[in-house]
Structure 1
């Protein structure tokens, strides 16, 4: 057994590269961009996509990009992946609230 001595930064880079290569090997030949379902998914599918329980999803909902329509939560896979990567998404950008004029 060989012992490898490395810094935390080098280890992180090696792991990132190994994961990238593993993901690339799973793609069909000729596919370059990762295809995501353009339709929104529900909380059950979002929890599975993120690898967390549904209760963890709900307790962290203020940190996870989502949309709420007709009292239901919707998620987009591309935005969830961007969230994992630490990138800002459309649903995380603050939106100015419109208020009614005072009478």
Structure 2
């Protein structure tokens, strides 16, 4: 069995195995790079604007979902002082409120590509 010769690496590359460092870019990134090079300035501006709009939509969704989780967390911590028999319906209503929240339902029902 012939094994390839082991090359000695120095610096930070020595912490990673040979499979971790990939010198050649994948074909996916090569295709993306070719597409960007072939695009005109106007096409790149339109793509940049589209990506900015998509980014702001995602940030808005994230902040709305984060607010729902913070409210749930606060309600949960407030409910810890109740006995279990009274606490169970509270917890149940908290979960239902989160599942019916517009921010949560928007994310759960969107179509993933």
Which interval holds the TM-score relative to the shorter structure?
under 0.3
Q: Which has the higher strand share?
A: 1
More helix by share: 2
User: Bigger radius of gyration, 1 or 2?
Assistant: 2
